[in-house]
Chain A
């Protein structure tokens, strides 16, 4: 049984139809010693990917796939790395993307899949002027 209702699926599919670029969702989970949220994350990503053929889910093992873990600088699991046409968007989600987090995931997928960033032009100038490494961590909860 899916996590999304048929109506939610239809709405999501409509939103995702704007995607023109391939989007890869690289999911790192831990088989042994990991939390159940990895399974939830996998189910959510697979449901999203089933709604648009440009979205694919790539599963990685947090312990065994150490090269990819280092490549994407992933330090905890479950982790979702969002790629746009195989290019790192530098957007990460840690934990199962449920509730409000799901909305953030969908927005990130749409940014990755359209290349369009919904920022005010002036804000965009400020962001593009950043010339030093900047690590942003946003803590939230599903509800």
Chain B
């Protein structure tokens, strides 16, 4: 997603190495995705579902 849009940055973070961050975002299972400090996505999702949630899209836009 980051490569496709200049407005998007994407960080892959090793959870056990950055425990302060893992605690901050309450990472108890992986993968866990945080978007703009507010959206939380637990687990791995199909592409469209993931992007829809990450971009906080209303349900009807994706169907």
Binding site for B on A (CB under 8 A): 35, 37, 73, 76, 84, 89-97, 101, 104-105, 108, 111-112, 117, 119-120, 122-124, 126-128, 130-142
Contacts and interface: CB of A to CB of B under 8 A. Distances in A.
Interface string B1-31: 1111111111111111110011001010011
A123 B51 contact: yes
B47 A137 contact: no
A119 B8 CA distance: 15
Given A96-B17, A126-B57, A140-B30, A132 B7 contact: yes
Interface of B: 1-18, 21-22, 25, 27, 30-37, 47-48, 51-52, 54-55, 57, 61-62
B48 to A, nearest CB: 6
Contacts of A95: 13-14, 17-18
Q: Of residues B14, B15, B51, which shows the largest number of chain A Cβ atoms within 10 Å of its Cβ?
A: B14
B7 to A, nearest CB: 5
